[in-house]
Chains A and B, each alone.
Chain A
Amino acid sequence: MPDAIEPALPVLEGKELLPGLRDQPPPAGDAKSGCHLLNDIPANAGTAVIELRVRNHPGTMSHITGLFARRGFNLEAIACAPVGDGRESRMLLLLADEPRLDQVERQLAKLYDVLAVRHRPDVPAAFFRNLFPPADHTAAAPAHGTFTGTLP
C-alpha cells in the first residue's frame, strides 16, 4: 500500500524548487548600482576588512575563494587589482559576522600565493558599496556580438 508509507505531499512546480528565490526581498537601496546585497550590509556592523598581498596569477583567486567556501567562512565582498609591474596584486576582503577572524587570517597566511595578510580597520565597509560606477544606459551598445533576444 504505497499510500500508507508515502504521505501525500504537494507537488512543487519547477520554479518553486529553486532555493530561496521566493523569499528574497526586492533589491534595496540604489537600484542603479545593481549590487543590492552589498547595500544591505549595515555599515561596520560585525564586519572586518582584511588586506592581502598576493601573487598575481590565474589560480590565486580560486585558492582564496575556495578556502572561504570549504571552511565555511563568511565572505561578503572582494576588491582586487594588480600593483606595480603586475606580478603581485592587492586584495581587500570584506568579512561579515565571522567569529573566527583569527582562524581566517591564519588559514589565509598558509596559502602559498598569499604573501601578506593584514587588518584594515581604517577601511569602512562602505568602501565596497562605492566600487561600482552607476551604469550609463545611454551609452551606445556594441555593434555586434551582443545578445539582444529574450531567454526562453
Chain B
Amino acid sequence: MKISGANLLRLLLERQGVRLIAGIPGGANLPFYDALHAPEPRTDRRGTIRHILARHEQGAGFIAHGLARVTGRAGVCLATSGPGATNLLTAIADARLDSVPLVALTGQVPRAMIGTDAFQEVDTYGLTLPVTKHNFLVRDAAELLEVVPLAFQLAESGRPGPVAIDVPKDVQNAIVEVDAWPAPGRPLPAPACPDALIDALAHRLAAAQRPVLYLGGGVITAGAASLAGALARRISAPTVCTLMALGAMPPDDPLFMGMLGMHAARGTNLLLEETDLLVAVGARFDDRATGKVAEFCPHAAIAHLDIDAAEIGKIKPAFLGLVGDAADILRRLLARLPAQQRPAWRARAAHLRAAHPLRHPARAADPLHPVNLCRFLGEILPPDTIVTTDVGQHQMWVAQAYPVRRPRTLLTSGGLGTMGFGLPAAIGAALALSDVEGPALPVRHSLGEGGSEADRISITRDPKLKTQDRTPRVVCVSGDGSLLMNIQELATLAELDLPVAVLVFNNAQLGLVRQQQELFYGRRYAAAHFAAVPDFAALARAFGVRGLRLDPARDPLADLAAALAGPGACVIDIPIHEGANVLPMVPPGAANRHMIAEPELELSHA
C-alpha cells in the first residue's frame, strides 16, 4: 500500500486506539490535519480521530493531560513547529514531573530547511529532550512505523511520562510503501520484585512499633489504591498522602492522616516525627512533602517501593528498595502479612489528628472562607466528581479541605506547579467522560490482576440523555491569578459545551505570593496585588459561557449549589478575603515540625 506520511501517522494513531487529539494547526503540520479531516482519496474513508481545537498550544497540552490523568492512557496533543512547539513545552514538562503519559506531536520545517533558521523553525528535538522520557525527530516517513508504537509504549510503560515526536513537513508529504502494520505500542510489564525483598519488608513490618505508609501518585498510577488501604488496615499503619496521591485512601478512613508536608495538618507532620518505619509507595520524597530532608522522619528506617529504580535512595537513603509494580508488590506483601494490631499507635495517630484540626471560621460566620467553600463542595458534589485545580492558595485549600474520595478524581499540577493547568485539564477530563464509545474508561490497571474495582471509575450513562446531561460535571477550582493564564480556553469550552464549572477563588491577588511576602519578606508586598481584576462573570458571558458572581450578602452557598446544578459550562466568581492564608505552613527549607500556625484569636473551631 502506498500512503503519505501524514496518513500513515493518522492510521498508526487510530490503530493505537487514540480517539481524541487536542491541538492547533499551523504551516508545518497542515499535511497531518488534512489527513485527519479529509477523506482518503482511494477509499473515501474518513479518519476516526476527533480533533479538539484549543486556543493556545499549552491549552491543547493540558487538555491532553486531562484525558490522560482520568484514563491512565496516553493523551495526545498536536502543534505546529516553532512557537507551536515552544508553547507545548510547559505541558510536556508538567507531564514529566507528574509522570503523566503524553504523546506530543509537532510539525517541523522540511528536512532540507532544518538548521537554516527557516520561518517557524526551532530545535524542537533539543528543546523537548530534557523534559521528555524520550523524543524523536522523524527523518523518514517509514520510521513512523517504528516510532509511533514505540512512543506509546514508552509513554505508558513503567513510570509513565511524555514522549515527543517531531515530524518534518516533507516527511508528512512523502509517499511510502507499507507492507505490514506494526503491533500497537502497549505498556511493558514491570520486572517482578524478588520474593526475598518482599519477605524482608514483611519481617521488618512485624518488628516495627510505629509504621507509617507514605503514598505518592504512583499508587494511583498503578491502580494500587485499594491494596494500599488494605495494607494500612492489615498492619494498623496510619497513612499519609502526597498531593498527587489524594484520593488513594477514603478521607473518612480512621487511618487516613491526609496530606503531609508544607501545608499538612500539624498532627500529620508530628506523626512522621515519631514513626520508626516509613513505607514509601510510589512517592519521590519531593521537597514540599519532606521539608528539610535531613530532619524528615528522623527516627524512621525507610522502605521504598517504586517502579523507577532511580528513585530509590535519590533523596533519602532507604534500607530496603523494592522496584516493581506497586499493585504486584503490595498484593504479594499482603499475602504474607498477618494482621497486626497496634492499638497504642492507632490511638496516638487518632489523638494527633483530633488535637490538630484545620482551624477556620464557622460556616455560618464566614461561608465564603476557602476552607468552608471546599468542605461545602465536598458535601454537594457526587463522590465521582472530577475536580481540577490551578496552582496557588486555592490548590492547597482543596488539598486540605476537599474530601477526594476516589483515585483519579483530583487532577492537579503537583510537580511543575503550572498556573493555568486547571481549565484545559477540566476540558480534557470532561471529554474523557463524554467519550461514550471510548475504550473502557480507566484503562491503565496494573498488570496481572490489578487493583480492585474501587480503583476504577465507573460511569453510568443514560443513552437517552443529551451529552451534557449524561456527562458528570467536572469542577475546576481556580484563582483569579491562575485562570487568566489560560483564560482563552473558555472559548474552547464554549464551543464544546461541556459540563465544566470553573470556580474562581477571587482575592485579586497572587495569593500564595502575597502570603509568602507577608510571612517571610516583612510584609513588603511586591507585584502580588492586581490593581485591575476583570469581571469574570462578564468575561465568561463574553466567551459564551454562563457566568455569575456570588453575592456574600445573599445566601452565597445556596447560590453556588444552584449554579452547579444548572446545565452546561459556567464560571462562578467567588469573592474571598484578601488576607486569608493557607495555614498551617512550614517555611520553605525548614523541618516539617516547624509549622506556622493560625492566629487562634481570630478563629474558632468549626
Binding site for B on A (CB under 8 A): 59, 62-63, 66, 70, 102-103, 106-107, 109-113
Contacts and interface: CB of A to CB of B under 8 A. Distances in A.
Which of B126, B137, B310: most chain A Cβ within 10 A?
Answer: B310
Contacts of B135: 59
A70 B130 contact: yes
Nearest to A103: B314
Contacts, number: 28
Contacts of B544: none
A70 B96 CA distance: 14
Contacts of A59: 125, 129, 135, 137
4 smallest CB-CB distances across A and B, nearest first, come from A106-B310, A112-B134, A70-B130, A107-B310
A4 B363 CA distance: 52
A70 B135 CA distance: 16
A103 B134 CA distance: 19
B112 to A, nearest CB: 16
B154 A112 contact: yes
B596 interface: no
Contact of B129 (A66, A103, A109): A66
Contacts of A107: 310
B392 to A, nearest CB: 26
Interface string B311-327: 01110000000000000
B160 to A, nearest CB: 13
B308 A110 contact: yes
Given A110-B308, A112-B133, A112-B154, A62 B313 contact: no
7 contacts: A59-B135, A59-B137, A63-B129, A66-B130, A106-B312, A109-B309, A112-B134
Given A59-B135, A59-B137, A112-B133, A106 B126 contact: no
Interface in B301-346: 308-310, 312-314
A109 B312 CA distance: 14
A59 to B, nearest CB: 6
A110 B126 CA distance: 18
Nearest to A111: B134
Given A112-B133, A112-B134, A112-B154, A62 B126 contact: yes
Interface residues of B, number: 15
Nearest to A58: B137
B582 to A, nearest CB: 31
Contacts of B313: 102-103
A66 B128 CA distance: 11
B416 to A, nearest CB: 14
A143 B308 CA distance: 55
Nearest to B158: A110
A110 B159 CA distance: 10
Nearest to B312: A106
B320 to A, nearest CB: 15
A42 to B, nearest CB: 28
Most central of B130, B133, B135 by chain A CB within 10 Å: B130
Interface string B126-153: 1001100111010000000000000000
B524 to A, nearest CB: 16
B310 A103 contact: yes
Contacts of B312: 106
A47 B314 CA distance: 21
Contacts of B129: 59, 62-63, 66
Contacts of B314: 103
Contacts of A103: 310, 313-314
Contacts of B154: 112
B309 A106 contact: yes
Nearest to A105: B310
Nearest to B136: A59
Nearest to A70: B130
Contacts of A62: 126, 129
Contacts of B134: 111-113
B295 to A, nearest CB: 21
Contacts of A102: 313
A36 B218 CA distance: 47
A113 B130 CA distance: 14
Interface in B154-168: 154
A49 to B, nearest CB: 20
Contacts of B310: 103, 106-107, 109-110
A59 B314 CA distance: 26
Interface in B91-133: 125-126, 129-130, 133
